[in-house]
Amino acid sequence: MDFALSDEQEALAEAERAWLTKNDPITARRPVIDDGPARITAAGVRHLAESGLVGLLTPDMGGTHVDLAVLVEEHGRAGSPLPIAELVVAARLLEQLDHPAFEAAESGDQLVVPALPSLENPSLHAQIDGSNLRLSGTTAPATGLLDAHSILILATTDIGAEVAAVLPVETVTVRNLETLDLTRSWSVADVDAILEEGNWSALQPGTVALLHDELATFRAMDALGAAARLVDMTVEYAGQRTQFDKPIASFQAIKHHCANMALSVEASRAALWAAAVALDGDDADARARAVSAAAAYTGDGASTTAQTALQVHGGIGFTWEHDVHLLIRRIKVDELLDGSVSYHRRRLVTA
């Protein structure tokens, strides 16, 4: 595949990075890091609404998954608590369903977060009884649920039909999860609801699989952003830290470490761009292969890059005050959710 970002996509990434630099999420998180999970800020929601990014994937905006990918990478790089991919994907689904919550989601008046059954241990069940839909069980972990107004649940029924329903958060039980990640909130929703006709929607076959692939791609893209920042931090530190009156960056072993980290990041980025292009295509099998290849490669590579960054930073990298551990924690959680590395490798074997 011969592919490169367009000038517009590069400008989009630069603009988002500028906003994130001005409103540095990690700097804002530091003073309250012991007070509870990271929350979505009003400034972040206002930014997405005023810039029109929530509706990026709707026909009116005409954006692509590659456009969204460059944004997600910047948010991963910054350690942002804003679930930009989830909010954008939810808005597109709401628009497709002609749901009344779409306008409020697009304007930022309401946060609607999508939720799915877990890929590897599904415990969310759906059954159609006449014209009613019964949803019961627990969703996969999702970020942003603590601050959401509604949850957009997608599931496959026991007879293979695909369904969706928008539930106010007060009608489900949201349980916060304690994870390694200190830069985002992670929660599951316990659901037990019977929805009458008109309160749920039938979906086109393949919609649930597409959403799984979207979330897997953007989870890996988030990890890539964090890994890319760790590469920059490590190279800068290696140029400043001295041993035997020489910068450690002059040592062959450190050069190899930094080169391997940079290679992993660039290869992962290429794989994820290919996955994002496949998300915009119509070939579900090709999409599944591209997504799992990218998610598996990036998940493993980002984790290795994080460990190498910690090693090169040495003692200071282990300190609470340094940002290295915050990015490592984020990467390790990304590695496990929306399909682990082993899950995506198994999926590739059977594809």
pLDDT digits over 156-208, tens only?
A: 999 999 999 999 999 999 999 999 999 999 999 999 999 999 999 999 999 99
32 with 94, same domain: the answer is yes
pLDDT of residue 318: 86
Residue 26 lies inside a defined structural domain of this protein? yes
238 with 162, same domain: the answer is no
154 with 97, same domain: the answer is no
Tokens read off for 70: 């460059």
**Model confidence pLDDT, tens digit, residues 94-116:** 999 999 999 999 999 999 999 99
72 with 197, same domain: the answer is no
Number of Cβ within 10 Å of residue 138's Cβ equals 20
Contact 65, 280 (CB under 8 A): yes
Residue 286 lies inside a defined structural domain of this protein? yes
**Model confidence pLDDT, tens digit, residues 265-297:** 999 999 999 999 999 999 999 999 999 999 999
pTM: 0.96
More confidently predicted of 350 and 271: 271
Torsion sign over Cα 231, 248, 24, 19: negative
Q: Please name the amino acid found at residue 317.
A: G
Among the residue ranges 113-117, 149-153, 185-189, 243-247, the one predicted with the least confidence is 243-247
> What CA–CA distance (Å, rounded) separates 66 from 84?
14
3-state secondary structure 309-350: HHHHHHHHHHCCCCCHHHHHHHHHHHHHCCCCHHHHHHHHHH
Contact 299, 292 (CB under 8 A): no
pLDDT higher than 70, residue 257: yes
**Average of per-residue pLDDT values in the chain:** 96
84 with 119, same domain: the answer is no
247 with 127, same domain: the answer is no
232 with 329, same domain: the answer is yes
Residue 2 lies inside a defined structural domain of this protein? no
CA dist list (Å): 165 to 106, 113, 154, 201, 328: 18, 12, 7, 6, 35
**Which letter does DSSP use for residue 99 in this model?**
-
Residue 262 lies inside a defined structural domain of this protein? yes
Per the structure, the complete domain to which residue 142 belongs is given by: 112-202
**Model confidence pLDDT, tens digit, residues 220-237:** 999 999 999 999 999 999
